[in-house]
Amino acid sequence: MQQEYLFKILVIGELGVGKTSIIKRYVHQIFSQHYRATIGVDFALKVLQWNHDTVIRLQLWDIAGQERYGNMTRVYYREAVGAVVVFDVTRASTFDAVLKWKDDLDSKVTLNHGKPVPTVLLANKSDQVSLQQPKLDSFCRENGFVGWFETSAKENTNIEEAARCLVQHILANEENTVIDSEPGSFVLTEYTAPAKDHFNFSCNSCAKI
């Protein structure tokens, strides 16, 4: 039987870090050097044939960097099941703001059981500078990111990999609660996630699925 999911994903981070560029690359396979700031929020849809019997629709919410000090984020974040926080490796101030975005997110949206929404960290514009990896591993572990990737929207590096990592974590949450139905009653049971190597894929994952 064909299974379909629709996941709302937030893409957040400071002005000009490349959120729109990453989405355009991922969804439309295009890149432009021209910067036009997003106003409010934009949307894009990516359809993934996840495996032979699963289709996943990712509804990507491209939130303007200038919304960080606005009060609309609560409305935008509602019912999200995953998030991407982006910073620009050429500008340290955008990394300094990562935790402000993450805290804003965690304070305004959680999953049904109060768990934070799985979030990946993207170190974008990696075509310009390379990073110190060990530092980001511990940063992710300490701050609740499920993984991080060096990406380039310009050169199309690691964007699909990051999306796959995020979707795997979202699916693991979906499967964590299996509804066992008997006439007139619902019992919530814990689902045991498959071993990690069940996924033919690796990422800089800081949290085990």
Catalog residues that contact Mg ion under the rule CB under 5 A.
19-20, 38
Judged by beta carbon distances under 5 to 8 A according to partner kind, the member of Mg ion, ligand GTP, none in contact with residue 154 is ligand GTP
List of long-range contacts for 40-49, beta carbons under 8 Å, 24+ apart: 40/64, 40/67, 40/72, 41/67, 41/72, 41/76, 46/163, 48/163, 48/167
CA angle 41, 46, 49 (to 5 degrees): 160
Q: Compare residues 123 and 140 and give the one whose CB is closer to Mg ion.
A: 123
Judged by beta carbon distances under 5 to 8 A according to partner kind, the member of ligand GTP, Mg ion, none in contact with residue 124 is ligand GTP
Q: Which of residues 71-130 bind ligand GTP (CB under 6 A)?
A: 124-125, 127-128
Q: Compare residues 58 and 209 and give the one whose CB is closer to ligand GTP.
A: 58
- The residue from 37, 92, 188, 207 that contacts ligand GTP (CB under 6 A) is 37
Q: State the binding string over 134-173 for ligand GTP (x if CB under 6 A, else -).
A: ------------------xxx-------------------
Closest CA to 150 of 132, 138, 166: 132
Cβ atoms < 10 Å from Cβ of 206: 20
